[in-house]
Amino acid sequence: MDALVPADVDLVVRADLARARAQSVFDDVLAWLRGAELSEVMIETTTPCLELATVATLALRLGPNGFDGDAILRLKLPPDALGAVPCNAKGWKPMGDSGSAAVFEPAEPERRRGAPAMMLRDRSGNVLVATPGQIDSVLRLVRDGPDPEPLIAPSDSMVGLVARVDEAQLPRAWREKTPTLTALASGLSQLTIRLDVGERIDVHATFLYADRQDAEQASRTLRTVRDALLKSERESFKRAAQAAHAEKVGEQVRVELTLPRGL
């Protein structure tokens, strides 16, 4: 099921839940996934799977408020953890097979955009949950194979994110609340972030811009943010700014910083 992510999603996040458990930060990572503005019914349906999953991958088309758009949640589970219905979801029924995957649908489908509307399960312990706006895309990928150039989140960190979101694609709510994010998104082609969580949070971000002029403007914006944080009354903000490092290399801006947990 690794290929069942359509190329037109705006971002993909991958969380290594097995690694998070080993480092005793599973609850932190799970809280982030649950807090990503997914619908309550999506969280309720998938919680039993999240508790057992070794890897969770979330693919999104951004919605009006950000993470409330069309979603695909893919979970890697131990094969012996699977019940008759994925995640032991109540009110779901089998609908036959599509390719090598069993298909399940809710007996009483939800019409809300963020509600889970279809689940797939393969023989390897993978479960995929899709909202209504992603059903046709997922079934097309099952039938025809993967899209060219899909977004693939980094797998060499505890949490990896990749996004193709420029200023015009940002939800209005984000543009109104976070002018700095809007400025950084101007001319942005792709954003890649790697997070490693332990006693602290290590962040490695790469902003890829359409041209060097956009990258230079983003670099200036980041310097302005750093200068403002250095003057903050919060010591945690000051320390994060002091330890932060950014460099521009051609059309790329690379940022490294360390944050305290709970910032």
- The C-alpha angle 173, 178, 182, rounded to 5 degrees, equals 90
For residues 166-194, average pLDDT: 89
The pTM of the full predicted model, rounded to 2 decimals, is 0.90
Contacts of 112 (CB under 8 A, 6+ apart): 39, 41
Tell me the backbone φ, ψ of residue 14, rounded to 5 degrees: -120, 130
Lowest mean pLDDT among 41-45, 79-83, 111-115, 256-260: 79-83
pLDDT the model gives residue 53: 92
Q: Are 72 and 129 in contact (CB under 8 A)?
A: yes
Integer-rounded Cα radius of gyration of the chain: 19
Indicate whether 101 pLDDT > 90.
no
Lowest mean pLDDT among 116-120, 152-156, 169-173, 217-221: 169-173
Query: How much of the chain, in percent, has pLDDT values that exceed 70?
Result: 96
Alpha-carbon span 17 to 25, nearest angstrom? 9
